[in-house]
Structure 1
Amino acid sequence: MLVYKYRGGAFDRDLASLKQDYFWAANVDSLNDPCEATFSNSLATELSSISKLFNVRIEEIANEFERVLKSVDEFTNLINKLGIFSLSKNYDHQLLWAHYADSHRGFCIEYDLDIIKKQQHSFASHYTIDIGYSDSPGSIGLDQMLSLTSKKDKGLSFIQAMIGTKSLSWNYEEEVRLITDNFGK
C-alpha cells in the first residue's frame, strides 16, 4: 500500500531522515490532536451487566475488576512509550498540504508500507493501523481487555481503541499509523 508523509518547515531534519534512511516515530503526547489517546471506559458497565446476567454479586468480582483496571493503567503507560509515524493515503489534499507541508511550501514523500514493514529498523517491533473516525472516542471494554492476553491479537484491539480512533473532523487525513515499540528514530 502506498502512503504519504507531508513535510515542511524543517528541511535539514527531513532531508537527513531521507539520506540516512530513517523515520521519526513521535510519542502520543507530541501529536497535534488534543483528544489523542482519550477513550471511554465501559468496563464498569460491562462488569455490572455480567454480574446481573449471571446473578453474581458485584463485590465477588470487585477484586478481579481492580486487577483489570490496574492492567488498563499499565497498558496506558505502555501506550505513552509507543512511537507513531503518521501517514496519509492521500497525496493531494489541500488541507494536508496547508497543515503539514508548511502551507504548500514543503514536500510529500511516498512510502510503500509493505516495504517499510519488511525492513530492519531500530525498533524491536512495528505494525500498522488504519485510523477510524467517529463522533465518540474509542472505547475500552472487556473485548479489548481480553485482547491483552490473546496471543493472536497481541493487544492490538486495545491499541486500536486507544490510538486508532479520532474525531470525525480529522477524517480528511485518511490516516494510517505505523506503530513502533518506542518513540524516536
Structure 2
Amino acid sequence: MQHLYKYTDKPELFLKDGYLRASQLSALNDPLEASYNKATLNKICEDYELDAKVVLRGVDELGVICLTESKDNLLMWSHYANYHEGAVIEFKIETKYRTSCIGDLDLDETYKLLEKLDKKERKAIIPAYKKKKIGLLSDLVVSGLSEGNESHKRLFTGECLPVRYRPSPICHTTMSDSNLGDLDWTGKEDRLSFELFRQKSDAWSYEKEHRITLKLAQAHRVQIDSQAELDRLVHEFKMNEMFLEELNAIAKKKNDDPKIIFDLDEVPNKDDRMAYGRTLAKLSNNAKNLYLFRTDERHLWSISFGCKASPEDINKWSILAKARNKSIEEYKAEFLSNHYALKFEKKA
C-alpha cells in the first residue's frame, strides 16, 4: 500500500465528479518536459529499428497524472494549491505491482455485452459498470489504442511510477547515458514515448513526483474548449465531415457555456469509442482541452485544507468530500511557530 498526494487549487473540480486530469505536453509547466537530443534520438531509433516520427507523434498523444510523496512541501503548496488557499488530496493505493498500479482493466467483455443491448437497456446498465472499479482509475480501456500493436496493454495500464530525475535528457549524449539498453522493448515506439515522459530535470527532485502515463484516447471524459476547436479537426487535420457529425452527436453542451463534453465511457461500441478518443486526442496542443479519468472513491483517503483556505471553502469542500467518501479524513494545515514547516491538525 502506498499513499500519494495531489495538490489542487480548486478541489471542488475533483470532488464533484471524481475525475483527475491527465495533462498533455502543452499543459505541463516545465518547458523541458519530454525533451531529447535529436541526433541521439535518431541513432536510438536506428539501432532499435524504430520510427522517430512515430515516437514524437506518440508523445503528443500522451498525458500524465502527477502525484507526489509529500503533502507538506511549502513551495508546492504555493505553486499548485493557490498559495496555501487550496487543498491536498491523499489517495491510498493498493497494488499487485511493484510500485502502485492505478487500474488494469480491459473492457472488451463489457463492450461485447453492451453491443447486444438496445439503447434503453444500455442506459440502465452503464451506471452499474461505473461501480465496478479496480484501482484508483476505474474501467480503464487498454486495448485498441493503436493499430497493429498490443504493447499498450503493458504500458498504459494506469501504473503509477516514480519520475526519474536526471541532470540531462534521456536522449542527450550516448546510449549508455540513456540507459535504454536495459528496457523491455516490447512496444517499440510506444515504449520510447512512454520513457520520455518518465524523466525530468533533477532541479525538480524536491517534488518527489510519481506519474501515471496514459494515452489521451483512454480518457473517460474529454472537455473541449469550444466549437472552434472541433472545427480544427476538419480544417487542420482534414477530418471527414461525416465523422465529425457523429462526434457532435454525442457531444454535451450547455447554452451558456462554450465548452463541449464528451463522455466516452458511455459510448457502447468499443471501436467507435476508441476512434472518438484518438480523434479528440489530436486537439491536445491546446492546453485548454482537458482529458479526464474517473477515479474510484474508495481510494480517496484524506483531504488537507490549506492554512489560508477560507472557512467557507473548507465547509464547501468538506461537504463534497464526504459525499464522495463518507469515511474520508480531514486535516487543516497550520504553520509551525518556530520552523519553516507545516503541521496538520485532524478535524473532528
Corresponding residue SS for 2:67: strand
Contact (CA 8 Å) 1:26, 1:84: kept in 2 or not?
yes
Alpha-carbon separation, structure 2, partners of 1:143 and 1:169: 20
Query: Greater RCO between the two (CA within 8 Å, min separation 6)?
Result: 1
CA deviations 1:133-177 (Å, max 9, x no partner) are 1111112859749958526x99546522x1111111101000000
Residue identity over aligned pairs, in percent, reads 24
Q: How does 1:24-39 map to 2 (within 5 A)?
A: 24-39=21-36
Residues 4 and 106 of structure 1: is their aligned pair in 2 closer, same or farther, counting only changes over 3 Å? same
Give the match for residue 139 of structure 1. Answer: 171
Q: How does 1:28-177 map to 2 (within 5 A)?
A: 28-40=25-37, 41-42=39-40, 65=46, 68=49, 71-114=51-94, 116-117=102-103, 118-119=134-135, 120-121=138-139, 123-124=141-142, 125-139=157-171, 141=175, 144=180, 149-150=185-186, 155-156=190-191, 159-160=194-195, 162-177=196-211
5+ residue gaps, structure 1: 47-63
Alpha-carbon separation, structure 1, partners of 2:181 and 2:59: 14
Q: Give the letter for the 2:162 counterpart.
A: D
Corresponding residue SS for 1:102: coil
| TM-score, normalised by the number of residues in structure 1 | 0.72
Q: Give the letter for the 2:161 counterpart.
A: I
Alpha-carbon separation, structure 2, partners of 1:67 and 1:21: 40
Give the match for residue 240 of structure 2. Answer: none
Q: Size of the alignment, in residue pairs?
A: 161
Alpha-carbon separation, structure 2, partners of 1:67 and 1:133: 24
Name which of structure 1's ranges 115-124 and 163-172 shifts more when overlaid on structure 2: 115-124
5+ residue gaps, structure 2: 96-101, 104-133, 143-156, 220-290, 293-348
Residues 43 and 17 of structure 1: is their aligned pair in 2 closer, same or farther, counting only changes over 3 Å? closer
Alpha-carbon separation, structure 2, partners of 1:36 and 1:65: 23
Give the match for residue 7 of structure 1. Answer: 8
Q: Give the letter for the 1:5 counterpart.
A: K
Corresponding residue SS for 1:17: helix
Corresponding residue SS for 2:72: coil
Q: CA deviation at 1:100?
A: 0.6
